[in-house]
């Protein structure tokens, strides 16, 4: 246990600027290249639904379960008032989940604790696993946790830091990217029950206003997280 704790809490120097930029390009490729994005967007859904569930609990709602589907959609069910601040915060959390998580990972890397950050992500996946209520969701979370566990167990700390940076860049970029995708779907009438549209129904503010607010915060996380990685 002492050896494990020393590994988790050990400081790891971040890769230099050129490597950081290269890893960011790799992360961008995992998003911009459609065949890969069809797979990697499941990770965004995990962060999205996990954020819904966490904020629902923090807002005093009762979490009933989380489902992840093969088309990369998801559903988080919580019990409580159908409107009010708690519901608003719960709905806001979803699309901000990847961006905020990416910013937190950037803070961990910037502090020199890239390895510890990977372990924190692994613990978060384990907690999320307890709330998943369908087989496909279990498979997605288990595969993600197994891959992350392999990285933390068998790779060199320097490589672990590179993996952490890639995950961080992926989350930071995927946040606004997903919101842009959402707006395309909303314009075609496909995403009529999206989070911004649900917010519009319970607050009477237009869904586009909520979407713009989410995009603005997400871009702010991208700028802040990118600045931390580049220092």
Which helix (H) or strand (E) covers residue 230, if one does?
helix 207-230
**193 — phi, psi (to 5°)?**
-110, 30
Its pTM stands at 0.96
**Buried b / exposed e along 130-144 (16+ C-beta atoms within 10 A):** ebbebeebeebbeeb
Q: 1-10, 23-32, 167-176, 181-190: which range is least confident on average?
A: 1-10
**37 — phi, psi (to 5°)?**
-60, -30
* Rounded distance between C-alpha atoms, residue 43 and residue 120, angstroms: 16
Q: Considering the chain, what percentage of its residues have pLDDT values greater than 70?
A: 100
Who contacts 156 (Cβ-Cβ below 8 Å, separation ≥6)?
none
Structural domain range at position 183: 2-230
- pLDDT for 54-100, tens place per residue? 999 999 999 999 999 999 999 999 999 988 999 999 999 999 999 99
pLDDT exceeds cutoff 90 at 191: no
pLDDT exceeds cutoff 80 at 2: no
Total number of domains constituting the chain: 1
Question: Among 200, 14, 36, which Cα is nearest to 106's?
Answer: 14
Report yes or no: 138 and 37 within 8 Å, Cβ to Cβ: no
What pLDDT band is residue 223 in, cutting at 50, 70 and 90? very high
What's the pLDDT score for residue 169?
98
Report yes or no: 141 and 85 within 8 Å, Cβ to Cβ: no
What's the pLDDT score for residue 16?
87
What's the pLDDT score for residue 11?
86
Report yes or no: 162 and 117 within 8 Å, Cβ to Cβ: no
């Amino acid at each position: 246990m002492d050896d494990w704790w020393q590994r988790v809490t050990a400081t790891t120097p971040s890769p230099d600027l050129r490597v950081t930029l290269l890893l960011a390009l790799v992360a961008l490729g995992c998003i911009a290249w459609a065949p890969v994005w069809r797979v990697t967007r499941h990770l965004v859904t995990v962060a999205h639904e996990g954020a819904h569930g966490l904020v629902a609990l923090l807002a005093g709602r009762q979490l009933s379960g989380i489902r992840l589907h093969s088309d990369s959609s998801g559903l988080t069910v919580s019990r409580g008032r159908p409107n009010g601040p708690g519901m608003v915060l719960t709905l806001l959390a979803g699309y901000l989940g990847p961006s905020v998580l990416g910013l937190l990972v950037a803070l961990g890397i910037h502090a020199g604790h890239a390895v510890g950050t990977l372990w924190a992500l692994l613990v978060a996946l384990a907690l999320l696993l307890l709330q998943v209520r369908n087989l496909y969701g279990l498979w997605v979370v288990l595969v993600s946790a197994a891959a992350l566990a392999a990285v933390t167990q068998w790779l060199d700390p320097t490589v672990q830091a590179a993996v952490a940076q890639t995950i961080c860049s992926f989350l930071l970029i995927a946040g606004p990217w997903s919101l842009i995708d959402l707006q395309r779907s909303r314009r075609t009438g496909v995403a009529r029950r999206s989070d911004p549209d649900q917010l519009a129904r319970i607050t009477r503010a237009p869904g586009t206003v909520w979407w713009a607010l989410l995009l603005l915060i997400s871009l702010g996380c991208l700028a802040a997280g990118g600045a931390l990685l580049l220092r």
